[in-house]
Structure formats: structure tokens, C-alpha cells
């Protein structure tokens, strides 16, 4: 058991040191890097929405991938201190409240026509796995609602969820919105973590 703890701690320190060396504010960037390497979701010139973007690692990496002709919009409750390139804008806002807006008001607030919507959001944890998973599901459904309203046809969605009894329900909701879905756990996730990523690929055309 001691070896496992030491290994997990080493893994955490390794990615944290690497993030600092590469000028990213958090180790979470390597999760998105693994997702991008495997699925090639973000392309040059893409418009990307990053929900719950603090402290800024995902938005910063997405901006690199999208390039100068692309655009990244980040949303978070907190002010993000990270410095971004000119193609990135961060808005202080509540994702839950945004998900409750109608399509027209949502478009006025954060725009529309995104190629990719990202969500690495996680709830404040309580230590109770069932409660934490339920809160994660609530955030994920809000993220999916926003993705449904703002993604272009054939757009993609990446969402972190804590595995729990609502996992299958959320997966089914993603399946109804996208032609394909993938379940993926990056190696850079902490081994003991219950987090996993659901990736929706090719948003289906809306029915009239």
C-alpha cells in the first residue's frame, strides 16, 4: 500500500513540475493534451468554449491549438489571473445560470457557432462519493445543455464526470446529441480519482 501512495504522489509531483516548467498554471493541461493526441478534436482556426476554465490551463492549450485565426472563450465564476494570447477571452459567469438561459440570450452572452465545447468542471468535494458524483452530474448536464445550444453541427464536446449512479444517464444524453461518443481516462489523472471523460463527436443536426 505504501508503494501505491508513493507512486501516486510521484505522478502528481511529476505533472505539477512539468506544468510549471512549460508555463501552464495546472497539471490538468496534460489531460487535455492526451485527449487531443488521441482524438484530434481542436484544429487550427477553431472556435472553442471552455466551461469552468480556471485556472486557465485548458484555455491556454486550446488557444495554442486553435492558433491566431481561432478563438477561445473561457467561462468561470472566479477571475482568472493567467495571461492569455490575443485569441482568448475570459468571462466571469456562472455555468449553471448560463444553462438556464434561452438560446437567444445564451448566444448574446457567450456567442454561438463553436467547434468544440470543453468542460473540466468539478464540484467542491465533500468526501462522500455519492454526493460528489451527484454534484458532478449536475454540472455535466449544465455543460451538455450549453454544448447543445452553442455547438455547430458536427462539433465536439469534452466533459469530465465523477463516476456514480448517474453516469449511464449522462452517457445516454451525450449519445442522443452526438453521432459517436468515447469514454476516456487520461494517464495523467490521479490513479485513485473517480473522474473520467466523456467525449461527444459530431453533433447531430437539429430537427426542425
> How many domains does the structure of the chain reveal?
1
Tens digits of residue pLDDT in 123-169: 999 999 999 999 999 999 999 999 999 999 999 999 999 999 999 99
Residue 208 belongs to some domain of the structure: no
Strands 195-203 and 151-162: antiparallel
Tens digits of residue pLDDT in 16-41: 899 999 899 999 999 999 999 999 99
Residue 10 sits in a domain of what CATH number?
3.40.50.150
Place of cell 442522443: 176
Residue 199 has pLDDT above 50, yes or no: yes
The C-alpha angle 88, 93, 72, rounded to 5 degrees, equals 15
Tell me which residues are annotated as active site. Answer: 160
Residue 44 belongs to some domain of the structure: yes
Count of CB atoms situated within 10 Å of the CB of 26 = 19
Residue 62 belongs to some domain of the structure: yes
Residue 86 belongs to some domain of the structure: yes
How many CA atoms lie within 13 Å of 141's alpha carbon, on the beta-carbon side? 14
**Shortest CA distance to 110 belongs to which of 69, 55, 53?**
53
Residue 29 belongs to some domain of the structure: yes
The C-alpha angle 123, 41, 205, rounded to 5 degrees, equals 90
The range of the structural domain enclosing residue 149 comes to: 2-203
* pTM, to two decimals: 0.92
Residue 41 belongs to some domain of the structure: yes
- Cα separation, 207 vs 101, in Å, equals 20
Report whether 200 contacts 183 (CB < 8 A).
no
Q: What is the reported pLDDT for 9?
A: 55
**Shortest CA distance to 48 belongs to which of 69, 34, 33?**
69
Tens digits of residue pLDDT in 51-107: 999 999 999 999 999 999 999 999 999 999 999 999 999 999 999 999 999 999 999
Strands 151-162 and 114-119: parallel
Amino acid at each position: 500500500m505504501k508503494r501505491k501512495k508513493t507512486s501516486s504522489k510521484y505522478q502528481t509531483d511529476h505533472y505539477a513540475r512539468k506544468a510549471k516548467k512549460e508555463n501552464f498554471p495546472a497539471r490538468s493541461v496534460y489531460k487535455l493534451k492526451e485527449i487531443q493526441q488521441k482524438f484530434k478534436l481542436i484544429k487550427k482556426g477553431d472556435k472553442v468554449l471552455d466551461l469552468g476554465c480556471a485556472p486557465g490551463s485548458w484555455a491556454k492549450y486550446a488557444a495554442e491549438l486553435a492558433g491566431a485565426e481561432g478563438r477561445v472563450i473561457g467561462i468561470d465564476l472566479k477571475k482568472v489571473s493567467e495571461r492569455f494570447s490575443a485569441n482568448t477571452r475570459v468571462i466571469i459567469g456562472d455555468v449553471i445560470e448560463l444553462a438556464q438561459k434561452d438560446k437567444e440570450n445564451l448566444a448574446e452572452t457567450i456567442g454561438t457557432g463553436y467547434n468544440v465545447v470543453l468542460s473540466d468542471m468539478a464540484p467542491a468535494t465533500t468526501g462522500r462519493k455519492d454526493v460528489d458524483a451527484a454534484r458532478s452530474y449536475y454540472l455535466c448536464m449544465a455543460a451538455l445543455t450549453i454544448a447543445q445550444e452553442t455547438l455547430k453541427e458536427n462539433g465536439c464536446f469534452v466533459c469530465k464526470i465523477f463516476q456514480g449512479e448517474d453516469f449511464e444517464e449522462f452517457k445516454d444524453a451525450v449519445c442522443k446529441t452526438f453521432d459517436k461518443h468515447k469514454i476516456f481516462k487520461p494517464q495523467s489523472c490521479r490513479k485513485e480519482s473517480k473522474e473520467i471523460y466523456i467525449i461527444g463527436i459530431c453533433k447531430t443536426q437539429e430537427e426542425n
